[in-house]
Structure 1
Amino acid sequence: MTSTRQQKQLQSLQQQDPESIDYSHEFDQTHIKPGQYVMIRLPSENFRVLQLHPGQTVNLGKFGSFKVDDILNHPYGYTYEIGADNKLSIVNHNYELDNQDEPVSELAPHENNRELVDDSSVQGLSMAEIEELKKGGLSGKQIIEKVKTSHSSFDKKTAFSKEKYLKRKQQKFLNQFTPEPIGSAELIDIYLDKDASRIQNMSEESLALMLSLANVRPGGTYLVVDDISGLLVGAMMERMGGEGLIVVAHDNEHPNLDGLRYMNYSQGLIAKMIKTVNWLEFFEPSEIEPFEEKTTEELQQLKSNQRGQYYRRRTRYNDSVTVQNLISNSGFDGLLVATGLHLASLIPRIIPAVGGSRPIVMFSETKELLTETTLVLHKDFRVISPTILETRLRKYQTLPGRMHPHMTSRGGGGYVLWGIRVFPDENANAVGKVHRKRKATDSGTSTPAEE
């Protein structure tokens, strides 16, 4: 019965025109849906990326296990605690200090941890005893309470030290997790954890700067060179909300957009928003094979598989015509580049495809490549004011009366080159202000000198 229903749905989809399908619902990231990739945030500040399927059981190591069915169709953002028999309960907040009704005030001048002895001897519970508490079914919060009570120097700590101590214990003992949807920021975290070179060590700040400088918006048409696993294209799709067109230029048989699968976009949406062109077709376009349109009556006489083939051929034809028209007529609203190719020789050749007063934005992991490109663009009158920018966010620990940067953080993040595409007038000459001399007359007055 189920197989028959699926076949009917497949036939209905093949009969429908792909260009008429509405994909706006795919940007609804409010509830967890079956088959989606989800980021699971753990108390240890690590994460897991999972594709959730009904009936699946997920093992989170020391934090416990849970059944996927218990979180499907629930809203994102809730924090769940794994209890006995892997039952989940929603928690509203983390462990807090007892009797702390007011926020921590500034440290008094005499408050410090100078006399504090903080080694293993002050902890009354051994690791074996803590493991017995876990086996006894105690929750993470109860274990933290017992560890705190058995700590002989806990009351001697300042309020700030107590908060830091409890945070470390939360990361170690709380059996909690938080499912989050995967967007462009989460995709950066995934690749930085797996292999940062696949996205050229791009930071979240550099990606946001590129999208802002390129004026990426719904309904825009953009030329993109993405050699960072689809991170740039995915961020643009997220910002455009399913409206607009992205043309991806690439040097292989197919572009590498592997990261899009984590963002849960359907193949239909990707085919609608993304068109591809290799560099050979970009610089030396071949003649497009003509396509014959069929009438509604002719389409109704076709079988379902023939109708599907017709729509696919028509889509390929329309895509080729659209891309070639955009390239030849300077129809792109912006150019965004993140590639390992030699920018100084590549960019001047693709500038003609960009419309006037439109932004050109490039990313590179190293500043030297952009510096060379800047020197080339300074001599190219088609781009004005090429500027290299760098953005870097350093995280700080802020407490009342005290603030200092985190001692360890990831360096780098890359550099961004930005300029504006213009159409120079070869017949125009720059003319400065003309100072006309005045000659004296017999009456003592002066008149403008004749030219």
Structure 2
Amino acid sequence: MHSLVEPNAWVVLRLPSGNLRVLQVAPNTTTSLGKYGSFPTNLIIHRPYNITYELQDRKPDENFNRLRIVPAAELYADILSSDADTRTAEDATPVPDAEGDDDAPPTGIEYSLVDSDSGTVVATTDRVEIDASARQTLTIEEIEALKKDGTDAGRELITRLMLSHTAIDQKTEYSLAKYKLLKTRKYIRRFCVLPLDIPMLNYWTLEDKDASKIMDMREEMIALLGCWANVHFGGSDPCEAQPIAKIKQEGEDTSMVEPEPVQTSCPGRWLVVDDTSGLLVAAMAERMGILYPSEADRLAKEQREAKSSKQGDSTGGRQPAPKDGEDTQAPAKPTDEAEAKREPEDAAQPTSPKATHKRPPEHRRDDYIPYAHANTITHIHPNSQPNLSFLRYYDFDITNPNPNAHHPLSKHLMTLSWLQLLEPDLDSTYSSPPPNVTPEEIYSWKTNRRSTFHRKRKRWIRTRHIIDTTRKGEFSGLVVASSMDPISIMRHTVPLLAGGAPIAIYSPSIEPLTELADCYSLARRAAWATNTPEEVAGKTLEEQEQWAGNEEFPLNPALVLGASIQTSRVRKWQVLPGRTHPLMSSRGGAEGYVFTAWKVKPAEGKVEARGHLRSRKRKVDDQSAA
């Protein structure tokens, strides 16, 4: 995450009312804040995050609002003044009670009014009773007229409202500060620019958007999944030096060369089943350091965009407008007769594939595999296309991988469907390799047919690489947040994990996880050891891991240890002098539970205890002799 607001980045604007707005900072545009006004987007580009701006009034010769950075001294003036008052009260000599009781509570108790969003202390008072009466003489029409004038960023309207209140002198300091806070949050024209990181995206989706889209997953649940699954940076790719097939000769054509098998023993490979529209994948990628493009990748992207725009302006850009009197017709295309006359001349020239076609760069060859082998995320989805829509907020589009070559996720995120994992022969892309043709025949095709052939072959190479490496297993961990039955997910994913790999599964309700935990309970494991099912008798450990289960044992209980279920919820508290308590009203929804366990490799053969055993009778004899 960059410390400055970059062009075309997604940011969060926190308005005075407490509402959040998520928008993309597009250069040379105007951002509207509704009733608060609008401002040019260029005024916040390349500015730091967490700065509060105030919309100023338009100047007579300008048609836009300028922004004023609100200094910290102005934002926290009430806190600084309250701290000064507190220090003065602490230095003062305590006044004894009128009856001489030294144990009586001091009379200088103060109650503070705190803004729940910013945590700012607005005012303090020594009175508990709050006068809530309000008698406002300004009419709705007058208030609307003042709002349309929009002078002094809304502060004039707030001042007029307070001066027009007939009972302002009857209010206590606490109720007066509360009245001012409510009117300020309603009419002040300020906003704060915040980065759209994972916690902010989760909060915005839960509070302002559809919470069911992310399965009511709270921030603490995301943290538990990442911690129990041990999601971290998995190290650099040890196989990156030679990700494709070896080339015997320098000038040899590689369009038909088969890639070598890829090693799957590289560390840092996580398996994930995500039904939260990509929120879980984004959280894991942030922990692994592959969610945000690096500075070098960002500069490379800007150079490519500048180069492509320059080429478009010089060759494929818009044609200049014709002058008066010039012919506006397009240049005439060559006729079929001219092409026919030119064909014999072209045919007479010798064509050599090696002479006319240079060897393409490595990243443009058909056998090039653009994926890393370490620090990767393999996402399994039930649809034809993965639903990872939240990744677009981080400059990654899963449906269009070509423009994402600069993004780390383009090399470290692989997706496949359950059909491709369980029955790859039924997948049309995997089971339909491109035809085996010679390079001479390829070069004789037209450009469209040749590009289609290379594109299909690249897609087949990528699909086969993802499916083959996933089916070989040896993953470092499993993270699940899905509405599917967790027992069916574990039946097909546990055999793909390496020994000691952690497992973390999220569910909005506890019932599915309770059934899953029962499959790996101590009683089931003891019954499995004493009375092994006949279906697995005589099978090897690899065959036992692939066992589909029966009614008594839905899963193999010997493959998982330490199964447990837990939950966590962060409660918000109101912290005021004498009134500290958890908030009684908070967001509802699902509680959310996490199942945790570890994959183990059962020991072959029978485990026997060894050592020198001493009988009970000999112990008694030794004690009597002593």
Q: TM-score range by the shorter chain?
A: 0.7 to 0.9
Alignment pair present for 1:282 and 2:421: yes
| CA offset digits 1:403-427 (Å, max 9, x no partner) | 1222321123411111111111142
Alignment pair present for 1:43 and 2:16: yes
| CA offset digits 1:110-156 (Å, max 9, x no partner) | 94343x432222x4544444444441613233433444455565566
Residue 327 of structure 1 is matched in structure 2 by: 471
Q: Given the superposition, is the C-alpha separation of residues 119 and 313 from structure 1 closer, same or farther in structure 2, using an over 3 Å criterion?
A: farther
Separation (CA, whole Å) in 1 of partners of 2:411 and 2:142: 59
Residue 77 of structure 1 is matched in structure 2 by: 50
Report the AA paired with residue 34 of structure 2: G
Separation (CA, whole Å) in 2 of partners of 1:308 and 1:218: 37
CA positional deviation for 1:218: 1.4
Residue 62 of structure 2 is matched in structure 1 by: none
Separation (CA, whole Å) in 2 of partners of 1:257 and 1:368: 27
Q: Given the superposition, is the C-alpha separation of residues 98 and 155 from structure 1 closer, same or farther in structure 2, using an over 3 Å criterion?
A: farther
CA positional deviation for 1:51: 2.0
Alignment pair present for 1:89 and 2:68: yes
8 A contact 1:113–1:157 mirrored in 2: no
CA positional deviation for 1:104: 6.5
Separation (CA, whole Å) in 2 of partners of 1:421 and 1:136: 64
8 A contact 1:117–1:153 mirrored in 2: no
Using the TM superposition, name which of 162-171 and 334-343 deviates more: 162-171
Residue from 175, 192, 197 that aligns with 1:178: 192
Q: Report the structure number with the largest CA radius of gyration.
A: 2
Q: Given the superposition, is the C-alpha separation of residues 100 and 312 from structure 1 closer, same or farther in structure 2, using an over 3 Å criterion?
A: farther
8 A contact 2:131–2:175 mirrored in 1: no
Residue from 390, 393, 399 that aligns with 2:567: 390
- Superposition pairs for residues 147-166 of structure 1, below 5 Å? 147-151=161-165, 161-166=175-180
CA positional deviation for 1:322: 5.2
8 A contact 1:95–1:170 mirrored in 2: no
Separation (CA, whole Å) in 2 of partners of 1:98 and 1:258: 41
CA positional deviation for 1:389: 1.0
Residue 107 of structure 1 is matched in structure 2 by: 109
| CA offset digits 1:295-314 (Å, max 9, x no partner) | xxxxxxxx9x9899869955
Residue from 231, 247, 258 that aligns with 1:216: 231
Residue 198 of structure 1 is matched in structure 2 by: 213
Separation (CA, whole Å) in 2 of partners of 1:394 and 1:255: 34
CA positional deviation for 1:432: 10
Residue 259 of structure 1 is matched in structure 2 by: 390
Q: Given the superposition, is the C-alpha separation of residues 306 and 183 from structure 1 closer, same or farther in structure 2, using an over 3 Å criterion?
A: farther
CA positional deviation for 1:89: 1.0
Residue 324 of structure 2 is matched in structure 1 by: none
8 A contact 1:285–1:324 mirrored in 2: no
8 A contact 2:275–2:482 mirrored in 1: yes
CA positional deviation for 1:376: 1.4
Residue 11 of structure 1 is matched in structure 2 by: none
Separation (CA, whole Å) in 2 of partners of 1:352 and 1:117: 67
Report the AA paired with residue 58 of structure 1: T
Alignment pair present for 1:226 and 2:274: yes
Report the AA paired with residue 366 of structure 1: S
Separation (CA, whole Å) in 2 of partners of 1:185 and 1:35: 20
Using the TM superposition, name which of 351-360 and 94-103 deviates more: 94-103
Instruction: Give the match's secondary structure for 1:341.
Output: coil
Residue 168 of structure 1 is matched in structure 2 by: 182
- What percentage of residue pairs aligned between the two structures are identical? 35
Residue 461 of structure 2 is matched in structure 1 by: 317
Instruction: Give the match's secondary structure for 1:350.
Output: helix
| CA offset digits 1:312-355 (Å, max 9, x no partner) | 95576256335523432x32111000111111222122101111
Using the TM superposition, name which of 58-67 and 29-38 deviates more: 29-38
Instruction: Give the match's secondary structure for 1:261.
Output: helix
Residue from 477, 491, 499 that aligns with 1:348: 491
Report the AA paired with residue 107 of structure 1: I
Residue 244 of structure 1 is matched in structure 2 by: 375
Separation (CA, whole Å) in 2 of partners of 1:377 and 1:291: 48
8 A contact 1:275–1:323 mirrored in 2: no
| CA offset digits 1:162-219 (Å, max 9, x no partner) | 5544432232011111222212112223332221111111111101111111111112
Separation (CA, whole Å) in 2 of partners of 1:99 and 1:373: 54
Please, what TM-score do these two structures have when normalized by structure 2? 0.58
- RMSD of the alignment, in Å? 3.8
Instruction: Give the match's secondary structure for 1:190.
Output: helix
Separation (CA, whole Å) in 2 of partners of 1:441 and 1:227: 64
Separation (CA, whole Å) in 1 of partners of 2:76 and 2:137: 21
Residue from 586, 605, 610 that aligns with 1:409: 586
- Give the unaligned 5+ runs of structure 1: 1-27, 293-302
Instruction: Count the aligned residue pairs.
Output: 412
User: Which structure is higher in strand share?
Assistant: 1
CA positional deviation for 1:367: 0.7
Instruction: Give the match's secondary structure for 2:204.
Output: helix
Q: Given the superposition, is the C-alpha separation of residues 103 and 320 from structure 1 closer, same or farther in structure 2, using an over 3 Å criterion?
A: farther
CA positional deviation for 1:98: 10
Instruction: Give the match's secondary structure for 2:475.
Output: coil
CA positional deviation for 1:229: 0.4
8 A contact 2:110–2:577 mirrored in 1: no
Q: Given the superposition, is the C-alpha separation of residues 127 and 32 from structure 1 closer, same or farther in structure 2, using an over 3 Å criterion?
A: same
Instruction: Give the match's secondary structure for 1:139.
Output: helix
Report the AA paired with residue 218 of structure 1: F
Separation (CA, whole Å) in 2 of partners of 1:332 and 1:443: 54
